[in-house]
Structure 1
Amino acid sequence: MASELKNLSVFSTDNLPDISKRRFAIVVAEWNAEVTEALFEGAYQTLLHYGAAAENVIRGNVPGSFELSLGAQWFAQRNDIDAVIALGCVIQGETKHNDYINHAVAQGLTQVGVNTGKPVIFGVLTPNNQQQALDRAGGIHGNKGDEAAMTAIKMLGLQQQVYSYSPKI
């Protein structure tokens, strides 16, 4: 669903797992800091609200969104990290750089998740302009950071379900 029709901060909270002992890494792109700092705040507060301990949330900064994949990989390779949330913002602009960056980041983060078996969440805004970015970073469309944190929580719940499944005979 297009985000102009959905508030990114509204989601189902049914059957969420206990995350009080889970450890999260949030990797934040420094480029477009006005937007990415708001995304971080949303993700961080959502994790705390749903039970994460503040000391179990680690932040790492990377220069731009392109570097999110490697930053996420470094955190995902750590045994003490359960999920990684990657936050960035690549605005359309006048050239096609956003197409190349967004595609590379999406593929890179997907590969990190598949290779490590850990949730690696794509929390990267891909708006056409600054106002659209602000609208999705705590503005009229909610906060993609909230949504990214909730996605990490739900993926940990699914992981728990999958690995604790035992068929009834």
Structure 2
Amino acid sequence: MKFAIVVGQFYEELAERLVISAKEVFEAEGGEVDLFVVPGAFELPLAAQYAAESGRYAGVACLGAVIRGETTHYDYVCTEAARGIQDVQLKTGVPCAFGVLTVENMDQALARSGGGKRDSGAHAAHAVLALVKVREQLSG
């Protein structure tokens, strides 16, 4: 089975950590992974749509990070990334997991990326796998 990871690289170190853990989960289940990099979280929904509509992937893990700053930009990016990713999976039927860190600071981001029980990259991959399993069960 093939999976896509789309990642916003605005915070490069965080993106790398999230990708490593998501990739490990997919590969542990025997999956192949293709990686697609976009500038930031706002671009994730369209990249996920491209991957989902290609017909090549059983699911898509959407990864990235948005850290609150001094303006309302954070709110718009978080809301639209989440809504857009949800819209893609509902429109296409291809599981698209939201593995985007939406945090207050870098310490919170580091705690939620790469290892540990709050690893958003791994959680996103597990969510995709769970939805793929449900789809298989319901399709007969």
Which of the residues 120, 125, 140 maps onto 1:149?
125
Secondary structure of the 1:85 match is strand
Cα-Cα RMSD = 1.1
- When residues 61 and 129 of structure 1 are mapped into structure 2, their CA distance, relative to the original with a 3 A threshold, is same
Larger radius of gyration: 1
Question: Is 1:36 the equivalent of 2:15?
Answer: yes
* Contact map agreement 1:23 1:80 (CA 8 A) in 2: yes
Q: TM-score, normalised by structure 2?
A: 0.96
Q: Take 2:103 and 2:55, find their aligned partners in 1: how far apart are those partners?
A: 34
Q: Take 1:40 and 1:122, find their aligned partners in 2: how far apart are those partners?
A: 13
**Structure with greater helix percent:** 2
Partner residue, 2:63: 87
Q: TM-score, normalised by structure 1?
A: 0.80
Partner residue, 1:62: 38
**5+ unaligned residues in a row in structure 2: which ranges?**
none
- When residues 34 and 159 of structure 1 are mapped into structure 2, their CA distance, relative to the original with a 3 A threshold, is same
Q: Which residue identity is paired with 1:134? A: L
| Match runs of 1:65-144 below 5 Å | 65-138=41-114, 141-144=117-120
**Structure with greater strand percent:** 2
Q: 1:160 deviation in Å?
A: 0.4
Question: Taking every aligned residue pair, what percent have the same amino acid on both sides?
Answer: 39
Which of the residues 49, 53, 59 maps onto 2:28?
49
Q: 1:140 deviation in Å?
A: 5.3
* Contact map agreement 1:135 1:141 (CA 8 A) in 2: no
Secondary structure of the 1:90 match is strand
Q: Take 2:110 and 2:54, find their aligned partners in 1: how far apart are those partners?
A: 32
